[in-house]
Amino acid sequence: MTFSQQEQQISREPRRLLITGGAGFIGSNFVHHWCENYPDDRVVVLDALTYAGNRQNLADLAERENFRFVQGDICNRPLIDALLREEAINTVAHFAAESHVDRSILGPDAFISTNVVGTFTLLDSFRHHWENQGQLDGDNSSENRSNYRFLHVSTDEVYGSLSSLDHPFTETTPYAPNSPYSASKAGSDHLARAYYHTYGLPTIITNCSNNYGPYHFPEKLIPLMCINILLGKPLPVYGDGQNIRDWLYVGDHCHALDVVINKGQPGETYNIGGNNEVKNIDLVHQICELMNELAPDLPVRPAEELITFVKDRPGHDRRYAIDATKIRTELGWVPAETVEGGLRRTIEWYLTHRDWWQPLLSDEYQAYYNKVYANA
């Protein structure tokens, strides 16, 4: 019996999951986590395979029984209706999103479509599916439907920006999103909340801090720095580099989501964070030090010589920090990984998975990169 199963200490009915965005960074880590821990559960992944989705992230699961990959858009209502019905889904784990702040500044449209309209489409389809199940079951409906869950995976960025003296975000911190990305995620959170309060749909929202680890797309801070060091390219630090993020190893996030699905209360929100606040510039120095140690043939050594301060991101939030007291005290979750340990594991992964990230540096990616760092 695995750790997660022991932790539940209860016998469980197999779940039938629809995991949206399961070919992306956190989604694919979560799919692996779930398949390893709950081999009897049915796992259906729905992913549009945008620039951020990668079939390779799930390649080892392709032949697995109990696993199905469907390429499709969460805005496609007939497709969602059909999948929920034919797969008898009782659990949705919703990761699919446009997720990068810099892209949301260049072009917000896709963020509204996927994050707001797509989440609405899923919620409404799942509501009808759940209500139909109730009608089919008659008197047994509440018992048979007690297992249904809609996990809405969201971000701490909906809470806006903290000053250095502010208390970290709690579940009751007012929403104050500052980027098109965080505003679209805030909109989707409100819909998930409303579907619980209006229809009784068993939704749960999680708001997590910055993740890092394997399968992280090259545009985000940590992989971008690792890859640029390996290529001998400048390391672009926005503004004065004093912005603070609360970093969480992706495996810890997946474990937290597992606990929330199995033990969380419908209608509740849980903040998830690593209690690891680090200034960007300090993090970049840590990455450089680890690269100097672990990579024998760097084009530029020491890697710190590549650090370049560039024009700040518009609306750049100063500090994010999570107060994870609720999930710790109510559900017993705490992160297992330190930033030092997690960064080392992550850098080792990028060093040994050049064949994964090299093809992602496509012409499209290069065009995006040139636009964002045009004034660098």
Round to whole Å and give the CA distance between 264 and 356: 35
CB atoms under 10 Å from CB of 256, counted, come to 25
Q: Rounded to the nearest whole angstrom, what is the least distance from the CB of residue 236 to ligand TYD in the complex? A: 4
3-class DSSP assignment, residue 238 = strand
| Active-site residue, selected from the candidate residues 73, 98, 102, 157 | 157
| Active-site residue, selected from the candidate residues 156, 252, 258, 268 | 156
Q: Which residue's CB atom is positioned nearest to ligand NAD?
A: 24
Residues 171-210, one symbol each (x = binds ligand NAD by CB under 6 A, - = not), give --------------x----------------------x-x
Residue 173 interacts with which of ligand TYD, ligand NAD, none, CB < 5 to 8 Å by class: none
Residue 301 interacts with which of ligand NAD, ligand TYD, none, CB < 5 to 8 Å by class: none
| Active-site residue, selected from the candidate residues 38, 181, 249, 369 | 181
Q: Does a cis peptide bond (omega within 30 degrees of 0) precede residue 302?
A: yes
Q: Rounded to the nearest whole angstrom, what is the least distance from the CB of residue 372 to ligand TYD in the complex? A: 8
Nearer to ligand NAD, 15 or 220 (CB): 220
Let me know: does 238 contact 316? Beta carbons within 8 Å: yes
Let me know: does 347 contact 291? Beta carbons within 8 Å: yes
Half-sphere exposure of 108 (CA within 13 A, CB side): 11
Q: Is 157 a catalytic residue?
A: yes
Which residue among 74, 80, 123, 244 contacts ligand NAD (CB under 6 A)? 74
Let me know: does 26 contact 254? Beta carbons within 8 Å: yes
Nearer to ligand TYD, 125 or 243 (CB): 243
Q: Is 156 a catalytic residue?
A: yes
Residues 1-60 that bind ligand NAD (CB under 6 A): 20-21, 23-27, 47-50, 52-53
Q: Rounded to the nearest whole angstrom, what is the least distance from the CB of residue 368 to ligand TYD in the complex? A: 11
Round to whole Å and give the CA distance between 329 and 264: 12
What 8-state DSSP symbol labels residue 174?
P
Round to whole Å and give the CA distance between 301 and 162: 35
Residue 291 interacts with which of ligand NAD, ligand TYD, none, CB < 5 to 8 Å by class: none
Residues 119-158, one symbol each (x = binds ligand NAD by CB under 6 A, - = not), give ----------------------------------xxx---
Tell me the Cα Rg of the chain: 20
Round to whole Å and give the CA distance between 84 and 132: 11
Following DSSP, what letter does each residue of 178-198 receive, concatenated?
-SHHHHHHHHHHHHHHHHHHH
Round to whole Å and give the CA distance between 30 and 93: 9
Residue 238 interacts with which of ligand TYD, ligand NAD, none, CB < 5 to 8 Å by class: ligand TYD
Round to whole Å and give the CA distance between 78 and 87: 14
Q: Is 297 a catalytic residue?
A: no
Instruction: Name the token pair of 190.
Output: 């409100």
Q: Rounded to the nearest whole angstrom, what is the least distance from the CB of residue 144 to ligand NAD in the complex? A: 28
Binding site for ligand TYD (CB under 6 A): 101, 210, 220-221, 224, 236-238, 243, 245, 280, 313
Q: Which amino acid is at 195?
A: Y
Interaction site with ligand NAD (CB under 6 A): 20-21, 23-27, 47-50, 52-53, 73-75, 95-99, 114, 118, 153-155, 185, 208, 210-211, 217
Catalytic residue positions, numbered: 156-157, 181
